[in-house]
Structure 1
Amino acid sequence: MEKLQVKISDAEWEVMRVVWTLGETTSPEIILILQEKMGWKPPTIKTLIGRLVKKDILSTENFGKKYIYRPLVTEEETVKSATESLFAHICAKKIGATIADLIDEADLTHDDISMIMEELVAKKETAVESIACNCVPGQCECAEH
């Protein structure tokens, strides 16, 4: 199965968070929320919506004098794609430290921590002794280059 590649900017993420929350919405609703939350002007928000439609991230349906927008990708798919992209851009030897940094930076509930610990216990079954560097020579500072 081919991995879904969802590439959106930080500003587009904000638009998508509104759409994912509402399920379906109009540009005036998105504008109202993002003007209040981000202080953005309507033309900026409309430009972001247009980019997301062009990228096939949002669907648009004409409904009378307004357009209805719906997500074509889920928040989970987008987060997974962003995570895969992050890991593809760093040395394979640094993924564990990066995950540890993410955990350190995040506000987590007791349930979140329990879930993470369960995943780590399951992952331990397939853990390897070492991971080979996947960088181009000179790209990182590991001992392999």
Structure 2
Amino acid sequence: MTNVDIVAKITDAEWEIMRVVWAQKETTSKEVTNILNSKTEWKTTTVKTLLSRLVDKKMLGTKPLGNKFIYFPIVEERQSIDALSEDILTKICSRKVGTFVETILSESLLSFEDIEKIEKLLQEKRKTAVEKVPCNCTPGQCQCHLQKEL
């Protein structure tokens, strides 16, 4: 199973846990509960269940420390973000990717550094841009097949 497959199966609640573990590098269930306490009303048992699921999904590893476990990420945050992005892109018509990127950019707060990186990437993408992006859908999954080719 690839990381894309694993990441695609992570629930929203598990993403919340992973974000804490990525930020902390190593953590306990109690620390996760305390950190998420202001955002969720999860009990320690809920956090432990979610941590256990993430261990089963090979997203987290554990090591014993006395009578508790230390959790650490096996899958990197960047790798997970890339996999999530790839998963989303496989679910939409390739002709709508530009609109999707536009939505992300318009709804996101970006730093000057972020904008510089995006501008540089767009300049590189311009070199391989096409007049019209081909549809990657099965006929009937989108309306591209209804548009007459010119």
Q: Percent identity?
A: 44
CA apart distance, 1:9: 1.3
User: Who is 1:58 aligned against?
Assistant: 60
Distance in 2, matches of 1:71 and 1:118, equals: 31
Distance in 1, matches of 2:146 and 2:76, equals: 39
Contact 1:93/1:131 (CA < 8 Å) preserved in 2? yes
Root-mean-square deviation (CA, aligned residues, Å) is 1.6
Distance in 2, matches of 1:79 and 1:133, equals: 24
Runs of 4+ aligned residues of structure 1 deviating over 6 Å after TM superposition are none
Unaligned runs of 5+ in 2: none
Unaligned runs of 5+ in 1: none
User: Who is 1:132 aligned against?
Assistant: 134
Equivalent position SS for 2:136:
coil
CA apart distance, 1:3: 6.0
Distance in 2, matches of 1:142 and 1:29, equals: 50
Distance in 2, matches of 1:88 and 1:69, equals: 31
Within the candidate set 84, 102, 113, 1:100 is matched to 102
Q: Structure 1 stretch 130-139 or stretch 74-83: which is displaced more?
A: 130-139
TM-score scaled by structure 2?
0.89
Question: What is the one-letter code of the residue matched to 2:27?
Answer: T
User: Who is 2:74 aligned against?
Assistant: 72
TM-score scaled by structure 1?
0.92
Paired residue total: 144
